[in-house]
Amino acid sequence: MRVALFGSPAFALPTLEALLQRHEVALVVAQPDKPAGRGYKLTPPPVAQRARELGLRLEQPARLKGNAAFLELVRGLGLDVAVTAAYGKILPQALLDAPKHGFLNVHASLLPKYRGAAPIQWALIEGETETGVSIMQTEAGLDTGPVRLQRRLGVAPDDTAVTLFTRLAELGADALTEALAALEAGTLPSAPQDEARATYAPLLTKADGRVRWEDAAAAIYNRYRGVFAWPGSWTPHRGGTLKILEMSPVSAPAAARGAPGTVLAVGAEGVTVAAGEGAVLLRAVQPAGRGKMDARAWAGGYGVRVGERLGCAATAAEAAGGARG
């Protein structure tokens, strides 16, 4: 079929490669290049960079709503279908109506759960043991369209947003390939979503990375997994911010007692900190203004002792600054 891909981040790259193997990619649409890195160099999103490497037709419109020239361009391509994969912009109805079969969206959750921009991260934060991808017919609403095909994927106990992102990106490409074959054959089903079961997965904020020491150790660890790529786990400490780069849930030492956030033990494996239930072991950290450190070395170098409490003594301004890192 003659197709277009609307996508921006690396999540969409396996989908682009899958489309190229079986269909004619008439157009790739990505978000505009943006400043990135310390030098704020103008940098293309991964999908735009790959499209340029392949010599594909690429458009990066700053806006879609009211963009008559872009709409006419798409209409003139004679598309059978268009695909979105983490494109990051709302599509106006006139654009959705342009391809013969409309738009199919590769969404990284089992809809109607985790509609929105960060389904992978929130599935981990909520402790899901299973997720998947949904191939959805795109409507003007936020991930509300009929589900055309779903594929499930187990979540490993040590999955983070990075590892699960990679696995779901590949699964999404496979699911889309299957969906397009069925669409071409006229056998692709369509099932409305159950609005009563809908949940939302908004973009993460810097505050989402703050460790909630009063939570159970399992919940603290799940949040760490979900925010692993960004903004990362962090906690106020001694008026600054301590980034927690590696952690795991553990049983609290039998003889140790302490309020949530209290250091219970410092040992060869790291620093054990009390949670609302159980404890977590900090294995690697990054103090403000320093690089990554083994947690035991950090405790020794900074004089962190049993009984000291993390998560206190940071103002809102300090916390926000630390979260920015």
Task: Give the count of beta carbons closer than 10 Å to the beta carbon of residue 50.
Answer: 21
State which amino acid sits at residue 128: E
Q: Which residues contact 216 (CB under 8 A, 6 or more apart)?
A: 275, 276, 277, 278
Query: Which neighbouring-strand residues pair with 191?
Result: 147
Where is 169: in which H helix or E strand?
helix 161-185
Which of left, alpha, beta for 250 (phi over 0: left; psi -120 to 50: alpha)?
Answer: beta
What's the Cα-to-Cα distance from 321 to each of 36, 196, 203, 209, rounded to whole Å?
Answer: 19, 39, 19, 13
Among residues 323, 293, 100, 107, which one has the least CA distance to residue 230?
Answer: 323
- Per-residue DSSP letter, 212: -
Binding residues for (6S)-5,6,7,8-tetrahydrofolate: 109-112
CA distance 145 to 139: 5
CA dihedral 28, 49, 107, 35 (to 10 degrees): -120
Tokens of 104: 């199919």
Which residues, in sequence order, are bridge partners of residue 151? 133
User: Where is the binding site, in residues?
Assistant: 109-112
